[in-house]
Amino acid sequence: MYKIYLSLFLLLLLSQCNLADKTESHNYTDLGENVYLFSPEMEIGAIQHLIDSVYAIQTTNESEFNENRFAFLFQPGEYELDVKVGYYTHVIGLGQSPDDVMINGSVTAVAPPTYNGSVLINFWRAVENLAINPSTDSTNVWGVSQAAPMRRVHIKGNLQLHDNGAASGGFLADSKVDGQVVFGGQQQWFSRNSEWESCKGGLWNMVSLGVIGAPKTDWPNKPYLSIDNTPFVREKPFWTMNESGELWLEVPALKEETKGVSWGAAKESSNKEISISEFYIAHPEVDNSESINAALANGKNILFTPGIYWLKNSIEVTNPGTIIIGMGMPSLIPEGESPVIKIADIDNVTLSSILVDAGLTKTDQLIQIGEPGSDLDHSENPTFIYDLFIRVGGFHAGTTKNCVTINSNNVVVDHVWLWRADHGNGVGWDVNKAANGLTVNGKDVTIYGLFNEHFQEYQTIWNGENGTVYFYQCEMPYYVPTPEAWQHDGKNGYASYKVADHVTNHHAWGLGIYNVFFNSAAIVDCAIEAPENLEQNFHQVTTIWLGGNEGSEVKSIINGKGAAVNQSNRKATW
């Protein structure tokens, strides 16, 4: 009932605004009750009031795991606004270039009122495809941690990635900052294909890939790792609105050896344009796995509008080139033992902007890409995964064996957070059970930004050849009950990152692996397990003893080599 009243209240606010004439021939009410389409012709005070009203209910302690989901869509033009972005809020510009939507003011994420500047739990929000002209000290504050991407954004000033307190990582891609990026107390951060004038701050693991203006690598004296070019990437698809008010999804082309942003003054002629008419628009109150699979069988792409989707069976993706995309942080939850999404061993699937919660019934995996034993070559048309966030616990007491299994070859993941909850609802060593976050069986799999933490065995298992990871952030599991409970096969604990003994080629750059063993003097032999001949392929590794029980320890960085971290030696590097 609360959600119904909230929606009616916000609709009443929005009704005070008038849509621009150019959208009158297009009905976008089917995008969902919590998708709000703004135009510069609307009364700006009403827009600001609506945004503030959403933020007021999405920034409290209770809102971290609530059911509200929102998307703010801005048509091209200029707006005098302070856009406060709380939990489960997705801010989207609809221009061909980020500069087509100009926010004069701010688009901010700051610490909740009672957190004294700490943004350690500023999760599940996003902003993309717009420009910000900051009105306060020429600085826009985007103080976030995991699952809060900023993509395809132009900051016409400085960008501050903290709120004068603790912060724990984030993701910036395809964005330009005219001034300085201030990392501050960020423990780690991953930036890809961006540009800035200068940067400062950061604690342990600050990775820049294909970034113009990136700091010089000076490891281990400073926490920066900068790699000149991104080997290959297809930037995330983005929504646009044409002059007649039609919504289209622009799908960028695959590019190699890139640096800096993909956008400029001219439209990218290589982009593929897909009309919203080619999407089945899913709604949480009416759609289920049967209706969605029927649409997929008819050749439709899928757009998930804001809300919670309970799915009794897997969503089956069997057509090459299919796009599965979310708007407004939609949540998918399995009601049975089947994965939420199963993607066949096919070319060029896009999975983007989806949040998945483990169900109350245990699944073997939540996302499956390719069938076991998949062996096709997809190098010409790889599958791309963008901004995929998975939770086990927190929302409720979910359970799974493994969050994501990649069986297909040539898959590219561009930002993922796999999280066995350490707080929230349904949390405990014997409650939100989950062995692993990620298992990779396919060959030539690349990940840009792998956040993976708190699982009860190996966080990451890599069985496929020629795997590559740029940036890894992991906290080992909280609340290990006893050291003995975590022993296996004659070993103390589980390494965070496990490369199988048979693998002959694997590379990883910029890894931060941390432990907080609160409940016992838990011990783990090493942070990374890998074949000995691959040890030199792990570049710039940091291990940190963040805190915990006296006597707890990570005894080495990789295979018994590298210094231990414990209460007396809290940091080690490789």
Which residues are CB-contacts of 106 (< 8 A; sequence separation ≥ 6)? 81, 82, 83, 132, 134, 135, 136, 140, 141
Alpha helices in 428-535 (DSSP H): none
Question: What is the sign of the dihedral through the CA atoms of 174, 418, 66 and 32?
Answer: positive
Closest CA to 241 of 490, 456, 514, 39: 39
Closest CA to 491 of 521, 444, 525, 468: 525
Q: Three-state SS string across 472-500, please?
A: EEEECCCCCCCCHHHCECCECCCCCEEEC
Q: Are 57 and 351 in contact (CB under 8 A)?
A: no
Which residues are CB-contacts of 2 (< 8 A; sequence separation ≥ 6)? none
Q: Are 314 and 340 in contact (CB under 8 A)?
A: yes
> How far is residue 375's CA from residue 378's CA, in Å, rounded to a whole number?
9
238-241 β-sheet, strand order: 238-241, 247-251, 272-275
> How far is residue 545's CA from residue 563's CA, in Å, rounded to a whole number?
12
Q: Tokens representing 308?
A: 């919670």
Which residues are CB-contacts of 367 (< 8 A; sequence separation ≥ 6)? 339, 340, 341, 343, 351, 356, 388, 390, 403, 404, 405
Q: Are 278 and 303 in contact (CB under 8 A)?
A: no
CA angle 518, 519, 525 (to 5 degrees): 80
Q: How far is CA 175 from CA 7, 42, 196, 245, 260, in A?
A: 33, 28, 9, 26, 8
Q: Tokens representing 82?
A: 């302070």
> How far is residue 248's CA from residue 220's CA, in Å, rounded to a whole number?
46
Question: Any catalytic annotation for residue 475?
Answer: yes
Question: What is the sign of the dihedral through the CA atoms of 287, 291, 295 and 297?
Answer: positive
Q: Locate the DSSP E strands across 76-204.
A: 77-84, 89-93, 101-108, 125-134, 139-141, 150-155, 158-160, 171-173, 176-184, 188-192, 195-201
Helix (H) or strand (E) holding 4: helix 2-14
Which residues are CB-contacts of 219 (< 8 A; sequence separation ≥ 6)? 225, 540, 573
> Of the listed 475, 484, 529, 532, which one is catalytic?
475
Q: Which residue numbers are catalytic?
A: 475
